[in-house]
Each structure stands twice: as structure tokens, then as C-alpha cells.
Homo-oligomer: A and B are copies of this chain.
């Protein structure tokens, strides 16, 4: 194998595929990046859950392949001057890396032992902008469960139906739902994607209108961004039927400024230290005003915000973290918050449309 490419393009590719390289594995080959020169120059990372491959623009002099330790390869390319890099495999799997006056010889591993990525047919996929998927992930990922006892909830439900794409995460205390229209024809899809996969994809996606195509087959999903492809296994099992928990019944509704609400809850939670996590923040809603309070061994906080209020007065307690997680990812300046009863869950929605729903369970007194 012999290839010449720019350090900049190579590094970009390495940074992407490294997101799928294991750091905790007993198999040295999985700590490596697969380099392949065929009709193009391709890098692959694969931890057997997520696989990422990336094509790097290059001048291929000799076909071939090798696996090289990801950390060392990345560190070397990162430290090279911004110039042309030559990569060549010599006898005994020694990888030569040359750039200006630097010459590296690194021991590689034969590529035969490297696990191939699952092949997914590019059929019945749907296209959407990378920016939208990035936002949809950001706005639902935080509600994914970390409880391995209910593995299905460690993923996000990705549903495509009737021209609409929906992401839903639930961890038993809260729900995060985000939907978006899909242009053009698309097949129905209903899969649960591991939270870890979505986390890594969100880092790779460009906050721009570049397109991504999503395909699924068997228990795998493929995110195709052109030069870069991410394959992931799916979580198996039945996702919670969340629809029944979203109702439009409410006793109290407020319209509130998102940032003011977030800042006040953040301040009220400052005295809830890690030793005092059992303490809630309380909302007292009356007279077009919400009073947010907390009280712990450290002291007490009281915050007041003017709101537009409908319905009954209400006094209710919540885990502040669940509110902060949701409010932080909402871009809308103003939101509507619906409370069913003083013990029931609360629902956060946009003022105008239905593009997101956050459901948060109340804390019992």
C-alpha cells in the first residue's frame, strides 16, 4: 500500500473514524484504524457496535491495506506540519509515514483480522438535512436512560411515518420528543438506535444543509453522509408506548420565557448539592406569576418570574435537573408549560407548533 494525501484531509478523516474506535478492548486490532487503498483511500473504525468509514481524497500509488493503532496514528498526523503525507506499508507490516523532514516507522497489523462492517442495502432510505438530525439528536438524547436493566430505553426511538420523522427518548422520569417533516417519498421505519451511536453521529454531523440519507435493514442502521458512513446495530425489543402519557388535559398552563425560566431553576438548584439531591425545586403558580423555591441544609432560594397564566393556582415539586436538561436544548424564546395536577407530570410545548414535547414527572411531597 502506498498513498499520498494532505495532512488536513487525513486528519479530518481520522477524527471522524476515531469516534468508533474502542479505547477499552482486549483485542489490539480493535484499537486500530483500518487503512484501505483500492479505487479510493478509506479509513475505518469499528468497535463492533458502531462502525464508521470515511473516504479521504488521496493519490493512490499502490493498493493494499493495513491496521494501525488509532491513538498513535492520530497523534502523529495531528503533530505533522500542514503538508503532503506519504503512507506506505513495507515488509513485516511496518507503516512508513513521511512528511517534510519527519520520518516514522510504526508497526502495523495485518488487515485480515479486522472485522468487516455490516453491509446494508441502500434501499428505501430517506433524506434529510444534517443540521436537522443534529438538532433532533441534541433535543432528545439527554432523556435516554442509563439504566442497563431496561436496555431498550438506553436508545432513542426513531420513527418515520406519514411524511414525519420522530425521535423519542424516555428514561422513566421524563420523555423527550422531537418531530420534523420529511420531504418526498419514504418507507415506514420504526427502530431504536443506541444513545451512544446518536451521540457520536451528532459530533460528526455538520450544522449545515448538507444531506444525510438514513437506511435500515435487519438489526442495523446506516447513516450515509456521502464521504462518511456510520453503521450501527439497533436495540432489540419493544419501545414503551409513550402516546398514552401525552394528553392535552391540564389544570394550569403558563406561557414563559425559556431563558428566564432556565436561569431561575439553575439558581434555585445551586443549593441542592450532590449530598442533597433528594430535594426538589417547587413551583408556586398564582396571579400571573411563578415563584420557584428550594430549601436545603445550605439555605433557601426564592425566584419570581412574570408569566401568562391560565387555569388554577398550583403548587408542585420537580427534580430541577430534568427541567434544566430540557430547557437548555429548546431554541424557542417562549414556551407553554402545562400542569395536570399537583402530582401529575408536566408538559412543555412550543407556543406555535408541535415540533417538540417534553414530559417531566413531578416529585411527590
Contact = CB atoms under 8 A, between A and B. Distances in A.
Interface of A: 69, 72, 75-76, 79-81, 94-95, 101-107, 263-264, 266-267, 270-271, 273, 297-305
Contacts of A101: 264, 303-305
Contacts of A81: 263
Contact of A106 (B76, B299, B304): B299
Contacts of A263: 79, 81
A105 B271 CA distance: 10
A277 to B, nearest CB: 15
Given A94-B299, A101-B303, A263-B81, A72 B270 contact: yes
Nearest to A74: B270
20 contacts: A72-B270, A72-B271, A72-B273, A72-B298, A72-B299, A75-B270, A79-B263, A79-B266, A80-B267, A95-B299, A101-B264, A101-B304, A101-B305, A102-B264, A103-B301, A104-B271, A104-B300, A106-B271, A107-B297, A107-B299
A297 B72 CA distance: 12
A104 B270 CA distance: 10
A270 to B, nearest CB: 5
Nearest to A79: B267
Contact of A298 (B69, B273, B298, B304): B69
A284 to B, nearest CB: 14
Given A94-B299, A101-B303, A76 B267 contact: yes
A106 B270 CA distance: 11
Nearest to A303: B102
Contact of A103 (B94, B273, B303, B305): B303
Q: Nearest 5 CB-CB pairs, A to B?
A: A106-B299, A103-B302, A101-B304, A105-B300, A75-B270
A270 B299 CA distance: 51
